[in-house]
Structures are given as structure tokens and as C-alpha cells.
Structure 1
Amino acid sequence: MLITDRRYDIDWIRVIAIWLLLIYHTAIGFQPWGMMIGFITNSEPWAALWTPMAMLNVWRIPLLFFVSGMGVYFAIQNRNWKQLWAERASRILVPFVFGTLCIVPIHIYIMSSYYGMEYKYFPHTGHLWFLGNIVVYILLFTPLFYFLKKNETGKLAVALKKIMSHPVGLLIVIAAFVTEVLIIKPQPYEFYVMNLHGFFHGLLSFFFGFYFVYSGEVFWKMIVKWRWLFLLAGLSLFVLRMVEFEMSLPIPIYQLPIETICWILAVFAFGNKYLNQKSKTLQYLSQAAYPVYVLHMVFLYLGSVIIFPLDIVAPLKFLLVLVFTFAGCYFTYEIIRRIKALRFLFGLHNSPRSVSSSPRSVSSQTEI
């Protein structure tokens, strides 16, 4: 039987998470350490950007992994495991390989040319490391997820859903993330790219994303009821973190994953409360999110090369680079969506003139 419920709030959160990624990456270009992690940086830093960046950097990437896990829940409702793997391979693995071979080397070339460094072509995952992790998580969790689906009305399922019907159940989620950092001891916590911390933090986020949706309406009602508490807790922990940082006090490692989960629960709760509405704008933005994610570093670097040498203040440069990046990504998406071969390479399989409102479409739109 085809499942017909659609979660527009999850679609919106996915789109917003991609936008936050673009904004955050643009902001890195105005930090003195940006070049150390492979970004083109402006000669004049903009120190004030660090405060909002610090607020975002503990939950923006985990949020995408949570959403990806939720997407798999919707996908398996109408697919067997072979269909799931085939669909995810074409929508994730193909763009991952294509981007590694053809997209990431472009922005590496742009950076090398800007700084006068010798360039030699080589495939690189770059910002697409996230997609590689998702492929691995799907392979690892497929047996468990289909077991849970098959036994969704059994005693285990009832018990699992009951746990997530009360805020106390969220202590299990927090405990899992705290355990991960206590074992791996990441330095810094916010760095997830191609390391053990990023892999296991993403794995937990992916699993609990699935579990949250699997828990059903009782979970969503619970987090909506307590949404202001989650928001206040996340904000309080962030302020405490900034105070500790300014006072040069060591931030307890367990404090950061607790803050992460509080922010993420707040995002999902407020999203469920206010964003679960169908719109043509969402249909367009949801389809565009995947190509925008794959392409954005190319336009970010192009914009940086053009705008950073200008004799204008840093805030104006930030705004211009951001506009250039968004405009370049969405303009290119308009080309991609009209060419069948490009649609395939960027993981777009629907007709460019229609976006189905079926859950099959929903699940296809929530990989990243």
C-alpha cells in the first residue's frame, strides 16, 4: 500500500539547512583561519561574524544527517531493500562520484590560481564527503531499518515509540552523543570532515533521524509541546560556551553535544509547528537543494575571486559574495533541470515540469 502522508516541514528544514551551509561557508572567507581549511579568504577579516558562526557550527551538519535519516524512513515505506539501494545509488552515489571527479577539482583550481599555487588535477571529495557518509550509513542500517519496518506494530516497536513519547526518552539520544565525544575526544568538536568524530556523529544523527520519524505523531507532539524549553536550553548553553571561551576556560566536551541536540530538537519542533505547509515555492526549492549543495563551492570561490580584491568594506563584500553564490547556483540549476543527462548527474530524476506530491517524491528529496 502506498503511504500518502507528506512532511513539508522536513522538506523546508532541509532547504533551510542547505542555505545555512552556503551562508556559513561564505562567512569562512572572512575568518583569519579560512585559508587553513582550503577557503579563499578576504584580506580584511570580519570578526563579528564569528558569533553567529559559533552558534551554527555545532548543529548545522548534524541537522542534515538527521534529515537524511528521516528521508530513508519515508523511502522504505514504498520500496524493498534492492529498490532502496538502486534509488539511493543513482541519487547519491552518482552525484558523489561525478562531483568528486568534475566539480570539486574546479573550485580547487580556482583557489590555486587565485593564490598562485601550482595546480595538478586530482579527484577530491571536498565538501561532498557528506554524501559518501550517507551511502555507508544506508548500507549499514538497511537490515535494521527494514526489520523495524516489518515489525512496526510489534512489542519492540511499541516500546521504542513509547520511549520517544516523553522528554525523558531524549536523555537516551543525549547520552549516545555524549558517549561518542567522550570516547573519540574530538578536537575541535565542530570539525566533522572525514574523521572518526564526523563519521560516528553523523551515524548517530542519521539513526536518530530515522528513529524520530519512526516514533510517529507522539514524538512530534511531544517536541512541539516542549519547543520553547529546547530553544532556551540551546541558547543558554551557547551563551555559556561563549562566556567560557572569552574567559579562556576549557569548555567541557560533554556540553557541546547536549547543546547540539537542544538546537536540533528546537528546529524540528518549530518546523513542525509552523512549516508543515505545501507551497509551490517549496516544491521548487526542494528540487533545487541537491544541485545547489553540489555546486555552491564553485560559485563561492568565483565570487570570492571577483569581489575580494575590490576596495569596499568587508560586510558589503560578504553580502555580494553571498548573492553571487546563490544567484550562480540557482541559475545553473535552471540549466541542469532542463537537460536529461545533467539531471542524472546531479541526482534529479523527476520530470522538470512536475514535482510529484507523493511520498515517493518526498523520500527522494530528503537525502541531504
Structure 2
Amino acid sequence: MDTRPDTRRHDIDALRIIAFGLLILYHTGMVYVADWGYHIKSPYTAEWLQLPMLFMNRWRMDLIFLLSGVATAFLLRNNTAWRFVRQRSWRLLLPLTFGMLVVVPVQPYVQGVSNGLVAPGFGQFLLDYYSGHAWPAGAFDGWEHGFTWNHLWYIAYLWCYSLLLPLLRPLLDRLQALVDRLRSWSLLALPALPLLFYCWALKRDYPETHALLDDWYNHAMYFSIFVYGYWLGRSATLWAELLRLRKPAVAAALLLFGAYYAMLTWVPENPPEWMLLLAWLLRSLYVWCMLAAILGWAYALLNKPFAWLRWGKESVYPWYVLHQSLIILIAYWLLPYHLGPLLEPLLVIGGTVLGCWLLNDGLLRRVACLRACFGLAPLRRSLPAGRCAGQEAATA
């Protein structure tokens, strides 16, 4: 019996917009959180930011890959594998390439100048950057390769997972019946066990790099979450259970995070194996319970055709591509003015939101070639250039 949901899931669209919107807050927070490395740091760093940043850090990208898996299930429903791969490749690889060449370079430039290892002058930097210049060690993230994709690593990973999933689809579809049987606390606990295994087996030997080829811990985590999303996208029964469990899920997530955070403060520098395993267990359970809570509450509250969804669905991908470069550039411009720990971050956030809106609505959505470079569908001939074509972006 096919239990896949057939109606339009407005909550998935809304949650995807919210999840990517949180990246603006999170990456702005990275400029100001104490003791966490980033491409540029303000002198107004604060230790208190570590708690809310840690709370979000453990599941923010998992949520995005989970939603990408749900969307992939929807896209594969009426597509052949070849058509799906062709469409995803076009709508992911072109924005990735364009972003790396045009949008991202300001980030290594600012980082290199801030580190005192790159000479000021963006024009000369671009000439060196595009010509394969050998950079000083530690000049910027990715200096050893001569270039970087920085925050656009997600697009590269999503493309790889999108190629893998059609190959594994027969196996995953056979496992669907087993997954659909998860109920109550088994749904809140069993999906966390593979995440615990990856922490124990891979985390120490393969620290996070976002460099694709050597990032096996991240691949195990994110691809598994991506597959979870695929199963969710094919199952109405799982969504009904997540809806029912939304209150215990959020309570469990908060309790687990409290226990996990307490352990982090107690763990010695070289903890025994049992202590590491306990911390990883709490972390894995927290991540999955938090994801389950978010999905359940979104299904309850956001599955409505809000007026802002049409604009948001098309705008979220360009905003994602643009936002980190704008954060870093605006912070770089503002730091010399010493505006204080309140005004400066407010201006960084406000300037980033304003910049994304002006570039997206004033330019990117109106120019056909730029639409393609930012993963947007072509404009329909019947619509004026400034209006949404009603088609979804590549990371839907």
C-alpha cells in the first residue's frame, strides 16, 4: 500500500525558508562568538553566544539535508532517474561554479587581509586567485588548494548525494516498510543510533573539513540524514507519528541538550572512552529528537498556503548563495569604525538582509542568465520579469 503524501506540503516549503534564514543569524553569530574560528572576527566577541550557537550548531545542517531528502522524494515521484540527475546537475553545478568564481572570492580576500597574509587590493587578489597563485600557509580556508567554495560546500555535497540516491533507490524503497513501522519512542531513538556509530567510528579519524574527498564523518552523517528525509517524503504514516510526538520530542530534545552541555563542561581534556560514548549518545539523541520536534511542529503550524511562500521559495536559494559573502564583506567594512557590540552586529545583519533583498529582487530574478546562475527556473513568458515564476529552486 502506498502511503506517500499526495498534497502540497506547505510546511516543507516554509521550513526550508526558515532553515536557510537561520544561516544568516548563525553565520553572523560566528563573527561575534568567542573562541570559535571564522573568516573574520569582530573585537566584540562574547562567550555567552557559545550556548545558543552550540544549541543550533548540532542540527542546523542536518535539518537542511533532511529537507533536501524530503524534496528529493517528491522530485523522484514523477521523474525518471536520468531526468532527475540531469535537472539536479544543472541546477546545482552551475550555481556552485558561478558562486565559487564570482560570489565567494571576497571571503578568502577578507580573511587573507585580516590575517595579514594577503596584500590589500581586491583586483590584484582576483588576478592571483584565478591564475592559481600559491598562497602563504593559513592565508584563508582552502589556501592549500588555491581556491575555496566556503559555505557552498553544501551544494557540492547535495549534488553527490543526489547522484547516489537513484542508485540506492531500489534498496531504500524495500526498507521503507520497516521504517514506516517506527512508532512512539522507537521513532525518537532508533534513527539516532547510526549517528552515534559514526561519532564513535569516524569522528576522531576524519574531522570535519567540508573538502568533499576526505570528509567521511560528515558524509556518513549527512547522507544518512538525507536518506531519512527521502523515507519521510514517501510516508504519510511517519508524518502522522511526528505530529503526534511533537510535544514529547521537544521536551526530550531540551533535556538531552541540557545533559549534553553539562557533560561538555565536565569532560576532561583526555576523557575515558565511556565518557566520550556517553557524550556522543546524548548528542546523537539530541540531534534526532530536535529534528523530529521541528518537523512535527512545522507540520502542525506551517502547513498552510502563506502569502509569503511564493516569494520565499524562489528567493531562498539566491539568498543562501549570497549571504555569507555579504556578512563577511559588511563586517570587514564596519570593523574599523568601532561601532560597539550592539550597533555593529545589528548593521551586519541588517545590511546582509538588505543586500540579499536588493540583489535578488532588483537584479537576479529579472535577468535570465543570472537566474540560471543562481539555480532559478526560467521566467515564464506570461509573467513580467520581476515576478516569481512559481517554480522551485534547486535545493527545494
Indicate whether the TM-score tops 0.5: yes
Structure 1 unaligned segments of length 5 or more: list them.
150-155
CA deviation vs aligned residue, 1:53-83 (integer Å, no higher than 9, x gap): 0100000011100011111101011211111
- Specify which of 323, 327, 340 is matched with residue 368 of structure 2: 340
TM-score normalised by L of structure 1: 0.88
TM-score normalised by L of structure 2: 0.82
Summarize the alignment of residues 298-313 of structure 1 with structure 2, pairs less than 5 Å apart. 298-313=325-340
2:184 and 2:245 map into 1 onto residues whose CA distance is: 10
Summarize the alignment of residues 174-253 of structure 1 with structure 2, pairs less than 5 Å apart. 174-186=192-204, 191=208, 193-194=210-211, 195-214=215-234, 216-248=235-267, 252-253=279-280
2:254 and 2:30 map into 1 onto residues whose CA distance is: 22
1:366 and 1:224 map into 2 onto residues whose CA distance is: 27
Alpha-carbon distance change, 4 to 243 in structure 1, aligned in 2, over 3 angstroms: closer
Alpha-carbon distance change, 69 to 366 in structure 1, aligned in 2, over 3 angstroms: farther
CA shift for structure 1 position 253: 1.9
Match of 1:317 in 2: 344
Q: Which is higher, the Rg of structure 1 or of structure 2?
A: 2
Considering only aligned residues, what root-mean-square deviation do their CA atoms show, in Å? 2.3
Q: How many residues in Structure 1 have an aligned counterpart in Structure 2?
A: 350
Contact in 2 for aligned 1:67/1:366 (Cα 8 Å): no
2:368 and 2:170 map into 1 onto residues whose CA distance is: 32
Contact in 2 for aligned 1:178/1:254 (Cα 8 Å): yes
Q: Tell me whether 1:128 sits opposite 2:152 in the alignment.
A: yes
Q: Which amino acid aligns with 1:102?
A: V
Match of 2:319 in 1: 292
CA shift for structure 1 position 278: 0.8
Alpha-carbon distance change, 188 to 15 in structure 1, aligned in 2, over 3 angstroms: farther
CA deviation vs aligned residue, 1:16-71 (integer Å, no higher than 9, x gap): 1111111111111113444x44x211112122211110100000011100011111
Report % sequence identity: 25
Match of 2:58 in 1: 58
- Specify which of 310, 315, 319 is matched with residue 283 of structure 1: 310
CA shift for structure 1 position 169: 4.0
Q: Whose RCO is larger (CA < 8 A, sep 6+)? A: 1
Q: Which amino acid aligns with 1:181?
A: C
Structure 1 residue runs of 4+, over 4 Å off? 146-149, 186-189, 248-251
2:393 and 2:10 map into 1 onto residues whose CA distance is: 11
Structure 2 unaligned segments of length 5 or more: list them.
119-124, 130-145, 380-384
Summarize the alignment of residues 84-99 of structure 1 with structure 2, pairs less than 5 Å apart. 84-99=84-99
